[in-house]
């Protein structure tokens, strides 16, 4: 007897879908999201751009109904992508499924190459800082706000007076992209996104090889990290350079493990020259070069070699850019703002406000700055403790721990900072249970939150009603598909937040996900 049509429609929610269907459905969701970005993604108003007037985009960017439908389509397509990502994860083991995960990464990332940026407008700041270097200014001392017409070029007002947090190699690349594009946003966004996609592919190759070296299933690791919708929206849709930074540092450890020490040093220098935060990996690169059985004398020798080699590469890049080591001062200057995702930053703001109310604004500002400086010192101190502790731990895993500590103690935490350290953890051991569940829930919630929060709406569209209604629709759909749908119960069976209090929670590692 044939099943009723309604039951056939509900079958995917009850029983899930195959990995092949998940990949195809995710492709459709990404195409829908990319089309929706043409209505509510970030679009600059630079003269000379083909998008300076709405033109064919008028029904999507000007009409209130079109704007609302694009907002809804962007968020619901993201929820759909999250759901099929979980369906793909039900079979993310073995070589055949590894290939399917790789196909999913390409299929779900591809449509975003021709989309407007969503979730973040940092790509326009990349272009502005490249332009600073092109016109002979110093991005480490001259802010984006000093450029004429910077606001129309799409850069975020929040960072208008901030020094560049990027290394000399990335600033050279940004300057070159600006020169090639002729400062036209439709071209430089495409080029920066292609660079981000190169970083995604590097992450795929490097993380797979590191997992094979360490006996961890690469299919699961690529699924939880690179096929993660938060990774795709952060690195490809938003065109962030973090994918390149992470791919380079993981590739450095892979090269060292294969005995290619010079290549490893070049790769870690390149990672630092993209984003200087990766300087925290240097002590552990030295330990990886020295080997687990090295004496203290050998370790210090390899630390000296590592510092000299990486310093020489950075000096060459500094000379080519004319910026030398200005990134060191810029790193110390970062962190005058705080985000809802940054508890340490919010504590600093509250502390500064409280002291300021009692002793004056100047005293409050000094206390706040001192508190943020303390966070940096604690992160550096924790890094040295991990490098010097006995017995010697795993350099690769400790790199992830040092980066995680730096993120937690940072006054500014962006959602994509999760992927600074997650690749190191998943390549260390395959973990199901509580920590996999928390990664899924955190990634899913951040995707919906950030897409809604960063909708680019015209002034005549009431932002609050649009965002609240779209957020409600996204949240309800997400809660049902991720938590309530029968096909997902295997992921979240036995979820207990009290697991955070267990002293052995970090050691949790099981070989089989609970049955659905």
Note whether residue 153 is domain-resident: yes
Q: What's the domain count of the chain?
A: 2
Q: Of 83, 87, 88, 105, nearest to 208 (Cα)?
A: 105
Note whether residue 210 is domain-resident: yes
Q: Please give the pLDDT value at position 6.
A: 54
**432 pLDDT band (50/70/90 cuts)?**
low
Tokens of 5: 């049509």
Residue 81 sits in the same domain as residue 121: yes
Q: Please give the pLDDT value at position 246.
A: 97
Residue 296 sits in the same domain as residue 432: yes
Note whether residue 419 is domain-resident: yes
**152 pLDDT band (50/70/90 cuts)?**
low
Residue 104 sits in the same domain as residue 157: yes
Kindly tell me if the per-residue pLDDT of 212 is higher than 70.
yes
Q: What is the mean pLDDT of residues 423-438?
A: 83
Domain that holds residue 375: 335-411
Q: Over the chain, what is the mean pLDDT?
A: 85
Mean pLDDT: which of 53-57, 116-120, 265-269 is highest? 265-269
Residue 206 sits in the same domain as residue 263: yes
pLDDT in tens, 219-239: 989 999 999 999 999 999 999
Residue 319 sits in the same domain as residue 444: yes
Range in 154-158, 336-340, 469-473 the model is least confident about: 336-340
Residue 303 or 162, more confident: 303
Q: Please give the pLDDT value at position 506.
A: 42
**402 pLDDT band (50/70/90 cuts)?**
very high
Q: What is the mean pLDDT of residues 151-176?
A: 80
pLDDT in tens, 352-368: 889 888 888 888 888 88
Residue 229 sits in the same domain as residue 278: yes
Kindly tell me if the per-residue pLDDT of 503 is higher than 50.
no
Kindly tell me if the per-residue pLDDT of 515 is higher than 60.
no
Residue 146 sits in the same domain as residue 80: yes
Q: Please give the pLDDT value at position 15.
A: 64
Kindly tell me if the per-residue pLDDT of 14 is higher than 80.
no
Q: Please give the pLDDT value at position 79.
A: 95
CA atoms of 69 and 294, how far apart (whole Å): 61
CA atoms of 60 and 72, how far apart (whole Å): 12
CA atoms of 414 and 338, how far apart (whole Å): 10
Residue 405 · residue 383 · CB < 8 Å: yes
**8 pLDDT band (50/70/90 cuts)?**
low
Note whether residue 510 is domain-resident: no
Residue 151 sits in the same domain as residue 216: yes
Note whether residue 4 is domain-resident: no
Q: What is the mean pLDDT of residues 180-202?
A: 91
Residue 241 sits in the same domain as residue 196: yes
Burial class (CB in 10 A: 0-12, 13-18, 19+), 423: buried
pLDDT in tens, 86-119: 989 876 555 558 889 999 999 999 999 999 999 9
Residue 208 sits in the same domain as residue 311: yes
Using alpha carbons, list the distances in angstroms from residue 275 to 127, 164, 214, 451: 16, 10, 26, 25
CA atoms of 174 and 125, how far apart (whole Å): 10
Tokens of 466: 């649009």
Note whether residue 41 is domain-resident: yes
pTM of this prediction?
0.90
Q: What is the mean pLDDT of residues 489-511?
A: 50
391: cis peptide before it, omega within 30°? yes
Mean pLDDT: which of 95-104, 296-305, 323-332, 339-348 is highest? 296-305
Q: Which alpha helices (H) appear in 118-164, and where do they start and end?
A: 122-134
Q: Which of 396, 411, 426 is the last residue of a domain?
A: 411
Kindly tell me if the per-residue pLDDT of 196 is higher than 80.
yes
Note whether residue 502 is domain-resident: no
Range in 117-126, 167-176, 331-340, 371-380 the model is least confident about: 331-340
Using alpha carbons, list the distances in angstroms from residue 267 to 14, 165, 247, 260, 271: 46, 19, 9, 11, 6
Note whether residue 8 is domain-resident: no
Residue 405 sits in the same domain as residue 448: no
Residue 324 sits in the same domain as residue 287: yes
Q: Please give the pLDDT value at position 260.
A: 95
pLDDT in tens, 26-53: 999 999 999 999 989 888 776 666 666 6
Torsion angle of alpha carbons 235, 236, 238, 241, nearest 10°?
Answer: 50
Kindly tell me if the per-residue pLDDT of 509 is higher than 50.
no
Q: Please give the pLDDT value at position 158.
A: 67
CA atoms of 281 and 458, how far apart (whole Å): 43
Q: Which alpha helices (H) appear in 258-389, and where do they start and end?
A: 261-274, 282-290, 296-321, 326-333, 343-359, 361-388
Q: What is the mean pLDDT of residues 401-419?
A: 93
């Amino acid at each position: 007897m044939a099943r009723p049509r309604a039951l056939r429609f509900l079958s995917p929610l009850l029983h899930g879908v195959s990995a092949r269907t998940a990949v195809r459905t995710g492709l459709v969701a990404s195409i829908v999201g990319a089309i929706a970005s043409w209505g509510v993604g970030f679009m600059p108003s630079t003269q000379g751009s083909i998008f300076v007037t709405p033109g064919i985009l008028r029904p999507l960017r000007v009409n209130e109904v079109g704007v609302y439908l694009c907002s809804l389509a962007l968020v619901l397509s993201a929820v759909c992508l999250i759901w099929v990502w979980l369906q793909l994860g039900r079979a993310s083991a073995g070589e055949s499924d590894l290939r399917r995960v790789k196909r999913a990464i390409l299929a779900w990332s591809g449509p975003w190459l021709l989309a407007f940026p969503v979730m973040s407008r940092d790509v326009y700041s990349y272009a502005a800082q490249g332009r600073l270097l092109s016109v002979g200014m110093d991005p480490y001392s001259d802010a984006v706000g000093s450029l004429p017409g910077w606001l129309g070029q799409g850069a975020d007002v929040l960072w208008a007076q901030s020094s560049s947090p990027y290394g000399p190699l990335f600033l050279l690349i940004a300057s070159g992209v600006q020169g090639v594009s002729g400062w036209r946003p439709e071209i430089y966004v495409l080029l920066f996104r292609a660079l981000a996609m190169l970083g995604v592919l590097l992450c795929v190759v490097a993380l797979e090889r590191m997992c094979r070296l360490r006996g961890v299933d690469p299919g699961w690791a690529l699924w939880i990290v690179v096929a993660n919708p938060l990774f795709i929206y952060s690195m490809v849709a938003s065109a962030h350079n973090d994918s390149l930074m992470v791919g380079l540092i993981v590739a450095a450890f892979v090269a060292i493990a294969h005995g290619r020490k010079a290549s490893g040093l070049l790769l870690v220098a390149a990672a630092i020259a993209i984003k200087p935060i990766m300087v925290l990996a240097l002590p552990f690169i030295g330990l990886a070069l020295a080997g687990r059985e090295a004496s203290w004398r050998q370790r210090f020798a390899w630390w000296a070699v590592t510092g000299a080699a990486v310093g020489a590469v950075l000096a060459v890049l500094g000379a080519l850019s004319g910026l030398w080591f200005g990134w060191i001062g810029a790193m110390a200057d970062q962190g005058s703002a705080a985000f809802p995702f940054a508890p340490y930053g919010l504590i600093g703001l509250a502390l500064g406000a409280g002291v300021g109310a009692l002793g004056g604004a100047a005293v409050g500002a000094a206390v706040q700055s001192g508190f943020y400086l303390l966070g940096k010192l604690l992160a550096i101190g924790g890094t040295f403790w991990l490098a010097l502790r006995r017995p010697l731990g795993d350099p690769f895993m400790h790199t992830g721990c040092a980066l995680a500590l730096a993120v937690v103690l940072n006054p500014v935490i962006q959602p994509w900072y999760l992927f600074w350290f997650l690749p190191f953890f998943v390549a260390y051991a395959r973990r199901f249970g509580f920590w996999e569940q928390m990664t899924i829930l955190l990634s899913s919630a951040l995707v919906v939150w950030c897409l809604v929060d960063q909708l680019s709406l015209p002034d005549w569209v009431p932002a609050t009603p649009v965002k609240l209604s779209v957020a409600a629709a996204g949240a309800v759909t997400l809660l049902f598909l991720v938590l309530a749908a029968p096909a997902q119960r295997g992921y979240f069976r036995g979820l207990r937040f009290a697991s955070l209090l267990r002293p052995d929670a970090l050691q949790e590692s099981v070989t089989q996900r609970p049955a659905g």
